[in-house]
């Protein structure tokens, strides 16, 4: 994962990033302003492209990330696979 302590979205209601159904255009515009001015946007986008996450990440929708993955030839892992990988890394560092 990456350090999110400096992220602009830390204090924003998470429900805005994970709407049920289609995202309202005014909400997306609001979130874009938050994301585009964020110091960790590159890390966030990299993670969201590598891991098949739901919701709005780094000023992108799931469809936009699917299009970017196709364009760049990125095959994402599922979140549970990423969690397993991170757990193994943590265990190696402790041992």
pLDDT at residue 1, rounded to an integer: 65
Give 41's pLDDT tier (boundaries 50, 70, 90). very high
Report the domain count for the chain: 1
CA dihedral for 7, 37, 35, 74, sign (positive or negative): negative
pTM of this prediction?
A: 0.80
Residue 76, pLDDT above cutoff 70: yes
Tell me if 45 is assigned to some domain.
Answer: yes
| Average pLDDT over every residue of 67-85 | 87
Tell me if 23 is assigned to some domain.
Answer: yes
Contacts of 54 (CB under 8 A, 6+ apart): 18, 62
In angstroms, the CA 93 to CA 61 distance is 34
Tell me if 1 is assigned to some domain.
Answer: no
The lowest-confidence range among 38-42, 62-66, 81-85 is: 81-85
Which residues share a beta bridge with 51?
Answer: 77
Residue 23 domain boundaries: 8-94
């Amino acid at each position: 994962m990456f350090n999110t302590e400096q992220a602009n979205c830390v204090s924003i209601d998470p429900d805005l990033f994970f709407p049920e159904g289609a995202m309202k255009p005014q909400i997306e515009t609001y979130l874009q302003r938050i994301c585009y001015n964020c110091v960790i946007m590159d890390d966030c986008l990299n993670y969201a492209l590598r891991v098949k996450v739901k919701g709005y990440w780094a000023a992108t929708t799931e469809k936009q990330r699917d299009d970017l993955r196709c364009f760049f030839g990125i095959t994402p892992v599922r979140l549970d696979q990423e969690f397993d990988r991170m757990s193994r890394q943590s265990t190696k560092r402790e041992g």
